[in-house]
Amino acid sequence: MIDLKSVSKRFDDTVVLRRVTARVERGEIFAVIGPSGSGKSTLLRLINLLDTPEGGEIRIGGSSIHTKGDQRLRIRRMMGMVFQKPAAFSATVYENVAVGLRFRGVSEGTIREKVGDALDVIGLAGYEERKARTLSGGEMQRVALARAMVTEPEVLLMDEPTANLDPVSVGMIEELVLQINRDLGTTIMISTHDMYQGQRLAHRIGVLMDGVFAQVGTPREVFTLPTSREVARFIGIENIIEGVVVAAGSGIAVIDIGGTSIRAVSPFGVGEEVCLCIRSEDLRILRPSGEGDLHGKNSLPGTVLSIAPRGPFSRVTVDCGFVLTSILSWKTVDSLGIEEGEQVVVSFVPEAVHAVRAARG
């Protein structure tokens, strides 16, 4: 539905997008995640014809968007966009939602019907005559969503639509996004710096870093099998350790990290430099006496550096020659009875270790 071919954009001397190539399928929710300044908003603005790329091509439904006159307007009217900042026209809620329909010359009767339906969907029925600017940020953003959707666009672009909203409003917008995609089959491209939002909503995720898609895949692929150290760091993998493959075979490799060996599932050959990515949730911490079955697992002795609360969990860092971080429940920490400076063993299965090539990109 949306084809991006080598799309480039710069603002003065700053290169924002570097030959971005991707494809968003019809009916798909595609989330663009990435740190601030990675080019997410610029990409959506280029697709929505609000900016012009320096190079490359964007196609919507097979047609190039880089046209002029009526054709350009026709393509733009295939799309709707919701912006990060909730913004309403200085008019009633009804008039706000009706704007796009009025631009298209739709009859007043049809407008009344469609606006009524749209307000029902967003849970703001009865708000027709309210001044839109008196609404809360969350309500205003729902009006913006209704305003974009009432024209029944084939493509809905959402630029960090929940970035300024409270958690309840975020939940409502997310539910609406899923509902719109499910009920209307609208292709949705949503940018967010909240990677978990991408995970909750998207069929596929594109991780945009430094103006290029570092990885595109299903949420499961992106969150469990990051393709680079940078993606791993962005998606919140706390333990990223560099090492060299010293033995490989039957799917399990041994990686040397400054004298300590770790067994990992790895496709890399002997002598290759790799980064090991281990989610802190996958690390267990045991007393050195060593209860439990450690057969086949990595078990590294180390010293507890710190135990810090993090929400309902505790974040425990252990020095094993390199620092490993584990997330444990308070109850687990209490039952282990560990304190800072004590000797422990960090244990994890080879399958919890995801190896990526150490070289950048």
Partner 1 sequence: MYEIIEGFIEAGRLIITLDPDVMTIAARSVIVSFVATIAATLISVPLGAAINFGTFPGRKGLINLIQTLYSLPTVIVGLLIFLLISRVGPFGFMRLLFTPTAMIIAQTVLVLPIMTGLTISALSGVDPVIRDTLHSLGATRLQFLINVMKEARFAILATVAVGFGRAISEVGAAILVGGNIMASSFMRSTRVLTTAISLETSMGNIPKSIALGIILLTIALGVNLAITMVQHR
- Least distance CB 87 / partner 1 (angstroms): 4
User: In the complex, what is the shortest distance from the CB of residue 195 to partner 1, in angstroms, rounded to a whole number?
Assistant: 25
277's enclosing H/E stretch is: strand 273-278
Distance from C-alpha of 39 to C-alpha of 319, rounded to nearest angstrom: 37
Among 10, 23, 59, 76, binds partner 1 (CB under 8 A): 76
Supply the minimum distance, in Å, between the C-beta of residue 193 and partner 1.
Answer: 18
Q: What's the CA gap between 127 and 220, in Å, rounded?
A: 40
Q: Return the number of the residue (148 or 253) whose C-beta is nearest partner 1.
A: 148
Select 133 or 203, whichever has its Cβ closest to partner 1: 133
**Distance of closest approach, residue 83 Cβ to partner 1, in angstroms:** 5
In the complex with partner 1, the residue whose CB is nearer, 169 or 228, is 169
Residue 103 or 330: the one with the smaller Cβ distance to partner 1 is 103
Q: Which is nearer to partner 1, 135 or 205 (CB)?
A: 135
Chain residues 263-322 in contact with partner 1, contact rule CB under 8 A: none
Q: How far is the CB of 52 from partner 1 (least distance, A)?
A: 13
**Which residue, 148 or 324, is less far from partner 1 as judged by CB?**
148
SS3 195: helix
CB of 191 to partner 1, least distance (A): 15
30 binds partner 1 (CB under 8 A): no
Quote the least distance from Cβ 37 to partner 1, whole Å: 18
Q: How far apart are CA 248 and CA 262, in angstroms?
A: 12
Contact set for partner 1, span 31-70 (CB under 8 A): 45, 48-50
Q: How far is the CB of 71 from partner 1 (least distance, A)?
A: 13
Length of the chain: 361
Q: Which is nearer to partner 1, 79 or 355 (CB)?
A: 79
CB neighbours of residue 56 within 10 Å: 18
Tokens of 221: 């692929």
| Number of residues binding to partner 1, judged by CB under 8 A | 24
Give the pair of three-digit tokens for residue 125: 């029925």
DSSP 164-203: TS-HHHHHHHHHHHHHHHHHH--EEEEEES-HHHHHHH-S
91 vs 286 by CB, closer to partner 1: 91
CA 8 to chain centre: 21
Site string for partner 1, 215-254 (x = CB under 8 A): ----------------------------------------
Among 64, 73, 136, 321, binds partner 1 (CB under 8 A): 73
Output the DSSP codes for 62-95. TEES---HHHHHHHHTTEEEE-SS----SSBHHH
Cα-based angle 147, 65, 142 (whole degrees, multiple of 5): 15
Q: What residues numbered 78-117 form the site for partner 1, per CB under 8 A? A: 79-81, 83, 85, 87, 89-91, 99-100, 103-104
Binder to partner 1 among 22, 146, 148, 165 (CB under 8 A)? 148
Where b means 16+ CB within 10 Å and e means fewer, 12-43 reads eeeebbbebebebeeebbbbbbbeeebbbbbb
Contact 152, 100 (CB under 8 A): no
Number of C-beta neighbours around residue 104 at 10 A: 10
**Least distance in angstroms from the C-beta of 151 to partner 1:** 7
| H or E stretch covering 142 | helix 137-149
Per the CB < 8 A criterion, the answer to whether 239 and 279 are in contact is yes
Q: Cα separation of 68 and 74, whole Å? A: 10
Q: Are 201 and 31 in contact (CB under 8 A)?
A: yes
**Is the CB of 17 or the CB of 144 nearer to partner 1?**
144
In the complex, which residues of this chain contact partner 1 (CB under 8 A)?
45, 48-50, 73, 76-77, 79-81, 83, 85, 87, 89-91, 99-100, 103-104, 144, 147-148, 151
